[in-house]
Amino acid sequence: MAERRSARREPRFLIIGAGMAGILSAVKLAEAGLTDFTVYEKADRLGGTWRENTYPGISCDVPSHLYCYSFAPEPNWSHHFSPGAEIQAYFENVAHSHDVEKFIEYGQEITRCWFEDGRWHLETANGETDEGDFLIAATGVLHHPAYPDIEGLDSFEGSCFHSARWDHDVPLAGRRIGVIGTGSTAIQVVSALVPTVGKLTLFQRTPQWIMPQENAAYTEEEKEYFRAEPEVLAAMRDEISTLFADTFSNAVIDADSPQLKMIEVVCRENLENSVHDSELREKLRPNYRAACKRLIMSEDFYAAIQKPNAELVTEPIERIEPKGVRTADGRLHELDVLALATGFKVDRFMRPIKIIGRGGVALDDAWAERPTAYLAISVPEFPNLFMLNGPNGPVGNFSLIEVAELQFAYIMQLVELFRSGRAREVSASRAATQKFDEDRVEAAKNTIWQTGCSSWYLDDRGVPAAWPWTFARFRDEMNEPRLDDFELV
Ligand code: NAP
């Protein structure tokens, strides 16, 4: 590995992960003239969640012109909501056009990071080491697949994989496919597969509210217009951002909001009007409020699940056997392929990397109860370690790209303290972190997430671990750090 220390008094950055947030970091650092950094990527390709999730039907349900960087608008999105492969290509293009690929080291899985003598040190699985002044964790949220704890899972004789590890070598056409789960992923998989497979069996533990959401293609004329009028594209992005926040992101944090009531009406009507068989309709009817779990957008799921080759199974899964899934009614659902759309371990963040802060404190210990971070960015006693899309930030109902951009601009203001010589070590104070935590737990009581359903938003106490305030408040917070909340050394 090349000599890393810069002769200048400018900081060196170690960035973990070349997904959306890692590429953002690289572009922004280079733009600021801070070119002493390396992005460590464990895989052989950038793209993060969009590299890993390639399941049939994958698309993003944040509007395309919002789900892209503000500094890299994309006039050529094919649809109002982009397919996953297009988003992956977008990140590759941005990394290329902004000339940041040269900063990425692929195939380098970081195993350990430790803060010693005022600097961050790291070690990779290959035994290589590096050091720098700042450690940026751009490791994503929905990253570690959660495998269901079902008896006999390993005994299945067909092909079995998690949705985030889709095996494209396995043929699907005409075959019997089982899908476990009814989250955003499963709904997209089912909608995409029913038209091609022999039989699709969906194993539902909990039904979901479905918001009908068309996904029209942009016409060539529209794309041409976006290409010719970049300011129109920028204005449209702002408009979508405001609309998205007003109708959705801000609605979910107030369980009594009129927008939520409207969403509920739309979802109920969607169910009533789209599902014709009353027995099936009741099986698909949730007994909790819409958007309590992450709301699902789909224009074709209800149509798909009513096709003759689709079956919704609501009997609990008893075990998995070599030939298929045995449900509690004793029935064996014979399958060739079993897809586990069972979600992610959302409390891992940059772990399993061993992260050791000031005085030898391990992040695993600091987070022994649950992960937490001041404003989702900084952890007491972990100086100069900053997270993008860290714990308790806005997730699920926001454009994570917009969130990361705001966070990065905030982090750069903290970095400025170092550059100007005001502080060599910057981390949130314990008191400020505790206050932030108490405030968010209190505010979370008003959110739709805490109205009586289980979801990945909830921590082990049943408290929503997500940002419980408006997006405007997040923007305000990210505007300028309150230095009283930090410990500067
Ligand atoms: P998820 O929302 O966590 O859903 C996991 C599903 O698996 C749930 O239906 C859960 O049932 C079921 N499940 C888990 N363990 C099970 C078991 N042992 N037996 C039976 N069922 C089991 O995961 P996801 O669908 O992958 O989505 C995660 C998040 O990723 C989404 O909420 C969203 O934020 C994001 N995402 C977005 C998009 C998009 O933009 N369109 C697409 C995909 C994902 P219960 O409900 O009963 O727990």
Q: How far is the CA of 318 from the centre of ligand 1 (A)?
A: 19
Q: Give me Rg for the CA atoms of the chain.
A: 23
Q: Does 184 score more than 70 pLDDT?
A: yes
Q: For residues 89 and 72, is the Cβ–Cβ distance under 8 A?
A: no
The share of the chain scoring above pLDDT 90, in percent, equals 94
Q: Whose alpha carbon is nearest atom 31 of ligand 1?
A: 184
Q: How many angstroms separate the alpha carbon of residue 49 from the centre of ligand 1?
A: 15
Render pLDDT for 88-129 as a digit per residue (tens, 0 to 9): 999 999 999 999 999 999 999 999 999 999 999 999 999 999
Query: Which pLDDT does position 399 carry in this prediction?
Result: 86
**50: CA distance to ligand 1 center in Å?**
16
Q: Please tell me if the CB atom of residue 60 comes closer than 6 angstroms to any atom of ligand 1.
A: yes
| Per-residue CA distances from 475 to 392, 410, 423, 478 (Å) | 15, 10, 25, 5
Predicted confidence at residue 450, as pLDDT, reads 94
Tell me, in angstroms, the distance from the centre of ligand 1 to residue 209's CA: 13
Does 319 sit in the ligand 1 pocket, CB within 6 Å? Answer: no
235-267 pLDDT per residue, tens: 999 999 998 888 888 899 999 999 999 999 999
Q: pLDDT by residue (tens digit) across 454-487? A: 999 999 999 999 999 999 999 999 999 999 999 9
pLDDT, one tens digit per residue, over 17-42 is: 999 999 999 999 999 999 999 999 99
Q: Is 341 in the pocket of ligand 1 (CB under 6 A)?
A: yes
Domains and CATH numbers, the chain: 13-46+100-144+345-488 (3.50.50.60), 153-214+253-340 (3.50.50.60)
Q: Which ligand 1 atom sits closest to the C-alpha of 149?
A: 18
Q: Report whether pLDDT(356) > 60.
A: yes
Q: Which pLDDT value is given to residue 395? A: 79
> What residue ranges in 125-195 does DSSP mark as E strands?
129-132, 134-137, 144-145, 159-162, 176-180
184 pocket-lining for ligand 1 (C-beta < 6 Å): yes
Mean pLDDT across the chain, nearest whole number?
95
- Evaluate: CB of 383 within 6 angstroms of ligand 1: no
Spacing, Cα 30 to ligand 1 middle (Å):
37
Q: Residue 486: which of 385, 366, 354 has the closest Cα?
A: 385
For position 318, what pLDDT does the model report? 98
Q: At residue 64, does pLDDT exceed 70?
A: yes
pLDDT computed for residue 8 by the predictor: 40
- Indicate the SS3 state at residue 136: strand
61 lines ligand 1 (CB under 6 A): yes
- In this structure, the residue with its CA closest to atom 17 of ligand 1 is 148
- Cβ–ligand 1 contact at 64 (below 6 Å): no
Q: Is 393 in the pocket of ligand 1 (CB under 6 A)?
A: no
Q: Is the CB of 181 under 6 A from ligand 1?
A: yes
Give the model's confidence band at 398: pLDDT under 50 very low, under 70 low, under 90 confident, else very high. confident
Contact 107, 44 (CB under 8 A): yes
Q: How many CB atoms lie within 10 A of CB 257?
A: 17
In single-letter form, the type of residue at position 446 comes to N
Q: Whose CA is nearest to atom 32 of ligand 1?
A: 294
Backbone dihedral region for residue 408 (phi beyond 0: left; psi -120 to 50: alpha; all else: beta): alpha
Helix residue spans in 32-167 (DSSP H):
49-52, 84-97
- List Cα–Cα distances, 363 to 47, 378, 470, in angstroms: 26, 12, 29
| Confidence at residue 9, expressed as pLDDT on a 0 to 100 scale | 67
Q: How far is the centre of ligand 1, averaged over its atoms, from the C-alpha of 294 (Å)?
A: 9
Beta strands in 398-489 (DSSP E): 426-428, 486-488
Residue nearest to atom 20 of ligand 1 (CA): 205
Strand arrangement of the beta sheet that strand 199-203 belongs to: 159-162, 337-340, 176-180, 199-203, 310-313
Q: Residue 130 above 70 pLDDT?
A: yes
According to the model, what pLDDT value does residue 6 have?
Answer: 41
Query: Rounded to the nearest whole angstrom, what is the distance from the C-alpha of residue 339 to the centroid of ligand 1?
Result: 12
What's the pLDDT score for residue 5?
41
How far is ligand 1, taken at its centre, from the CA of residue 20, in Å? 21
Q: Which residues contact 91 (CB under 8 A, 6 or more apart)?
A: 19, 20, 23, 46, 47, 48, 50
> Token pair of 278, please?
């009353």
Q: Which atom of ligand 1 is nearest to the CA of 395?
A: 34
Residue nearest to atom 40 of ligand 1 (CA): 60
CB of 185 within 6 A of ligand 1: the answer is: yes
- Atom nearest to 294 CA in ligand 1: 32
Give the nearest ligand 1 atom to 187 CA: 25
- DSSP 3-state of 171: coil
Asked if pLDDT for residue 7 goes beyond 50, the answer is no
142, 151, 184: which to mutate for ligand 1, most atoms within 8 A of CB? 184
The closest alpha carbon to 483, from 409, 426, 408, belongs to 426
Check if 342 has its Cβ closer than 6 Å to any atom of ligand 1: yes
* C-beta 148 within 6 A of ligand 1: yes
Contact 388, 408 (CB under 8 A): yes
Q: Is the pLDDT of residue 50 over 80?
A: yes
CA of 182 to the centre of ligand 1 (A): 6
